[in-house]
Structure 1
Amino acid sequence: MSKPKAFLKHSKAKKRSEQGELQILETADDYLAAGVDHEEAAGKWRAGDAVKSMRFFSKAIDVYDQGLRKFPNSLDLAYNKARVLLEIATHPVLVRQLNAPLLEVLQQALEAHRYALSLDQDNPDTLFNTAQVLTAIAEAYAKDADRPDQDALQPLEEALELQDRCLALQELRLEQSLQEQREAAAQLETETAESGASESTAHPAQDSDASPATGTEDQWFAIVEPVTKDTLIDTILAELGTLTTLCSILSSSPAAAPTSTLGWIEEFSSKLVQTKLPILLQDAETEKLQEIALVKANFSSGLLEAGYRLGAIDSSTYKRERDEAFRVPDLDLERNYAGLLANANSLIAFNSALADGGASIAASEASQRWNALSAAIANMAKASKISGPVPDDIAETHFIRGNCSLLQHRLSHPPAFYQPAIANAAQLLKNADVFYRNASKLYQDDEQKVISHVRAAVSQALQTGSDILSAAAANAPGKGTEWTTGQIEDMVEEGLISLAFESS
């Protein structure tokens, strides 16, 4: 998910009374200053102390709320409150500190953004962020087993509408900015020619430092960031991200949307990728090109999976175009941790799509599935060497390799009965055990650490023929039967194990 847009800034000097205490909040700017102070403190603590960071973010929201009760028409207060709610509901570190269910906080963020839009319906930043909230809500709906997948479609459709509107406004403002620059350059050229001078005749601007101070109070002003090509690119990438989520819904529930949806996605994305993006990439830097290539590859992977599951393409087309999407030079896959991770997940999705295609397809495509999983493991081995010092990043590479090892082991079962999987069945289970145990040691997140430990125990139980549920429960002290059963169900849903076969 793209980062929320930048917010208002103020001078560092805090307003204080003669006694040295923070001044009583009286104006909208006072509330803005206090809220941003809390946000800055939250940002400083986010990496080291998530609990303290969340406390400061909560204080910021409270201050903005107080300000809005006194100044309900303040767009700045409304925008900042909405943006902070988006931040705490989508940042992976902060989400774990929420005091309410994620969906409830996302709904609060959506209400706050709708209020900000009611104050200025043509604010591109608010439109952009509102779409981000709607996409996050759709993703939460899709993960909720108690909700039908159709529930996720409406917020995704609204998100795309807002993103398209945001992009149109940004395109207009960029063109206006470029036109003003051209006119200014032409005027300067004319003045220079008329004066006959070789130097610019423009009068130097008065040094702002020479202006006398008007008082001790902070001066507030909106930082209006200029619309650039990168601004438009970010919005287009956000749209592709929303379309990728829509493809994921279609893959998991093909009947959730009309059959024409896939064609509409292709047409909509084609306008973005083939018409709008190329014009904006003429002066793009290498890092931006890599970011774009990754988003496009993820979208292509999602679209191809949906197309295969809906019967629009065959497995060979799926594989060929998927491989091409991750082979583009701009992605620089061999030295790109995020790219290697995305490619591995795409290969796992390819395996799952073929596995779900029916018994005959699952068996006939066993070789392709085995090779895809082997490639995913190789990608994660490379990623582990370039992931940097973040333990969770390294842990993720081990966790995914554990999953892939179990998926390869599944190919030894019916209907695939793939000979290399049968011959290496014992070793594959040992590999999974080792990878999961490594992940458990490296993860900093306690929940993910326990999940890895449970999966290692399941891998061991498969080796010894022990009861899977008992092994999982023994390695998840204090979690309870419901949690442990849920973990086993997740493994079954991911295709890692088959209880029917394992218990036979």
Structure 2
Amino acid sequence: MAKPKQHTRPPKKPKAKAVDPETADDYQELADKEEEAGGKHRVGDPAKSSRAFVRALEIYDKGLQRHPTNFDLAYNKARLEFEVTQHPALAEHVGLPLIELLGQTLESHRYALRLNEENPDTLFNTSQVLTSLAEELSEDGQSQNAIPLLQESLELLSGCLSRQEMMLEQQQVDFQDFEDGGVPIDPDEKPASTNGSDASEQTAIVEAPITASDLLDTVHASLSALTTLVPLVDQSAVQTYGDMAHSLTEKRAASYISLLPEDLQDAARFSIGLDRAIFIAAFADAQFSFVAIEMATYLQRLDTFDLPGKEQSAHALCAEAEARTELSLSIIDRFQGPADAAAQTCWNQLKTAQDLYSAALKLDDEDAKDRKPKVYGSKGDVELLRHRLASAPGTTLSEGIQRSAKTLIQNAQKFYKGGAQLAKSDGDDELEVKAKQRWAIAADIGALMYGIEVTEAPFQGSSQSARGDVIEALEAVVDEGLVEMSLGEEVMRRMRG
């Protein structure tokens, strides 16, 4: 998810300190101080950081009560709310469920949009809130509510891209006029109000120059929204969104990359290429689910991940691993189990996914380090799914693979345990709990099927409610296809017993 865009405000003139804020700039200055305080404690003390950000939001609210048409205050309030939602450690201290907090953030962005419908940063940020909210709703089982939000996000991003292109073209014309001896715009000239409100109520906004990188950010965001949307819509809409992604990657992105300095172009091509591969994987999965393509075509589509330099990108390695795991799950779902003809294909894809995750763990850059807790959890998921294949009754997989079933379930426990420990070290409570729950599930499967003694329980001495949460997590892994339903029911009876 892209970071919220900032707009540029003109430098404030020195003035006498007022006892109480009166002007919009007074409120902005007070809010800036609280935001600065929140930023200082974001890593070391998220609770203290959240309190400072909440105080800043309260100042913005008070400022907007006195200056309701001030775009600067409205924009910065919305921006700060979105920043909080993107940091789980901060959001949990606000006191609202994330979906509710994102809904509140969306209303703030829509308010800012009503004050200035053409500001590209506001268009971009609003689209990001819509996509974030849609992703949360989709994970919460509310896919139908997510679809219109994603469609609105794409409409805003299309408007944003058109506005950015127009601004960039005007900048090029202005630069050419200056090169030809024209008179440059007076930098001290006060910008006109952009929404027709009273000048005393409107802090002047100076829009930062548009760059090719800004245009590419909008393409990235659009592809992200399309990737989230494609699995949710019906078959008649899938091709429309495929055509939209093709236009973005093959036409518009290519022209934007050509505007970048030459030394930045290869990295930009890799980034767009990866976004394209992730979308194509989601697009192929949707088509396969609708029986519009066959397995061989799906497999061929995943070749788009063969990007030069992917071995040095944890993001690329993990994205491909996720796509190959999703292929295996879709094959099992389409054939109502690991069908004989497809079982070996699923096994091979999962072996490749595991190798890709292992390669990502060996990288040492900042992105790779940040991903490690989740990667260990994903490796645990792959082992659960490989265990499902190896232990399936009547499987045609080799005897050696079938004999590995016990080892696979032990491996899953080790990976989930590692993920839980790393998540705890990072302070990611949500990921830690998820890893522990799946660790407990793998341990119960091992005990039930192979008599493996549970020597270390992730929830030892925990409450009955925590055990109930593990049962819910078991239902989730069955729904995801990682554990076969009849085995899940046996494990559930064991847990309840």
Q: TM-score higher than 0.5 here?
A: yes
Amino acid at match of 1:281: I
What secondary structure, in the 3-state scheme, does the structure 1 residue paired with 2:473 have? helix
Q: Is 1:418–2:397 an aligned residue pair?
A: yes
Aligned counterpart, 1:26: 22
Query: Does the 8 Å contact 2:253/2:272 carry over to 1?
Result: no
Aligned counterpart, 1:77: 73
The correspondence of residues 342-361 of structure 1 with structure 2, limited to 5 A, is: 342-359=319-336
Aligned counterpart, 2:242: 266
Aligned counterpart, 1:328: 307
Residues 419-449 of structure 1 deviation map (CA, whole Å, 9 limit, x = unaligned): 3531211111121122122222221323322
Counterparts of 2:290 and 2:135, CA distance in 1: 21
Aligned counterpart, 1:247: 230
1:472–1:311 distance in 2 versus 1, CA, 3 Å = farther
Aligned counterpart, 1:276: 252
Aligned counterpart, 2:5: 5
Query: Does the 8 Å contact 1:240/1:295 carry over to 2?
Result: yes
Q: Is 1:113–2:109 an aligned residue pair?
A: yes
Query: Does the 8 Å contact 1:450/1:476 carry over to 2?
Result: no
Q: Is 1:104–2:100 an aligned residue pair?
A: yes
1:153–1:224 distance in 2 versus 1, CA, 3 Å = same
Counterparts of 1:41 and 1:167, CA distance in 2: 34
Q: Percent identical across equivalent pairs? A: 32
Match of 1:458 among 441, 448, 457: 441
Match of 1:162 among 148, 156, 166: 156
Q: How big is the shift at 1:54? A: 1.2
What secondary structure, in the 3-state scheme, does the structure 1 residue paired with 2:114 have? helix
Amino acid at match of 1:71: H
Q: How big is the shift at 1:363? A: 3.0
Query: Does the 8 Å contact 1:405/1:428 carry over to 2?
Result: yes
Counterparts of 1:392 and 1:234, CA distance in 2: 22
Match of 1:181 among 165, 168, 175: 175
Query: Does the 8 Å contact 1:16/1:23 carry over to 2?
Result: no
What secondary structure, in the 3-state scheme, does the structure 1 residue paired with 2:85 have? helix
Counterparts of 2:394 and 2:28, CA distance in 1: 63
Counterparts of 1:129 and 1:476, CA distance in 2: 45
Aligned counterpart, 1:212: none
Query: Does the 8 Å contact 2:380/2:415 carry over to 1?
Result: yes
Q: Is 1:409–2:411 an aligned residue pair?
A: no
Residues 377-403 of structure 1 deviation map (CA, whole Å, 9 limit, x = unaligned): 111111111144676522222211111
1:151–1:451 distance in 2 versus 1, CA, 3 Å = closer
TM-score, reference length from structure 2: 0.85
Deviates more, 1:365-374 or 1:457-466: 457-466
Q: How big is the shift at 1:233? A: 0.9
Residues 47-72 of structure 1 deviation map (CA, whole Å, 9 limit, x = unaligned): 22211221111111111101000000
Bigger Cα Rg: 1
Amino acid at match of 1:418: L
Counterparts of 1:402 and 1:476, CA distance in 2: 24
Match of 2:466 among 453, 475, 480: 480
1:415–1:25 distance in 2 versus 1, CA, 3 Å = farther
Amino acid at match of 2:482: L
Match of 1:151 among 145, 148, 155: 145
Amino acid at match of 1:306: A
Q: Is 1:312–2:292 an aligned residue pair?
A: yes
Query: Does the 8 Å contact 2:440/2:458 carry over to 1?
Result: no
Unaligned runs of 5+ in 1: 192-201, 207-219, 251-256
Counterparts of 1:408 and 1:395, CA distance in 2: 20
Aligned residues between the structures: 461
1:307–1:14 distance in 2 versus 1, CA, 3 Å = farther
Match of 1:66 among 62, 72, 75: 62
Query: Does the 8 Å contact 2:7/2:121 carry over to 1?
Result: no
What secondary structure, in the 3-state scheme, does the structure 2 residue paired with 1:409 have? helix
1:406–1:309 distance in 2 versus 1, CA, 3 Å = same
Q: How big is the shift at 1:459? A: 2.1
What secondary structure, in the 3-state scheme, does the structure 1 residue paired with 2:334 have? coil
RMSD: 2.8
